[in-house]
Amino acid sequence: MLWAASRDEAMAVEHLVGIGRRAALERTAHYLLEFGARMKRMGLATKNGYDCPLSQYMLADALGLSAVQVNRVLRQLREKGLLTLQKGRVTFDDFDGLVALADFDKTYLDQDGLLLR
């Protein structure tokens, strides 16, 4: 129980940092990486990508951004060759570059070293 509460607290802190300190580009990249890590935990993603059931409007709500901002950010990520979100599929075109951009450290999610290796 203590471990589960600790992980939940770490996730909440990471989300607060995301909203308070990250620009829209980094916030979106971090969120999509985290979502991928969580999907991988369930066997629904790989390091290459995953099916994403979220619309741009849902992403906007989750990130505290407008749908227009999310659309622009996704275009920037695609133009930088980092990520593509098309037809309900997230594809990591440059996974390591995306991780660097988002400053993504999955240790706050990782239960047993299995996430997004």
Could you write out the DSSP letters of every residue in the chain? -HHHHHHHHHHHHHHHHHHHH--HHHHHHHHHHHHHHHHHHTT-EETTEEE----HHHHHHHHT--HHHHHHHHHHHHHTTSEEEETTEEEESSHHHHHHHHT--GGGT-SSS-TT-
Q: What tens digit of pLDDT does each residue of 44-71 get?
A: 999 899 999 899 999 999 898 999 999 9
Q: What is the domain-level CATH number for residue 85?
A: 1.10.10.10
Residue 86, domain member (yes or no): yes
- Give this prediction's pTM: 0.76
Whole-number mean pLDDT of the chain? 83
Give the domain extent around 20.
2-108
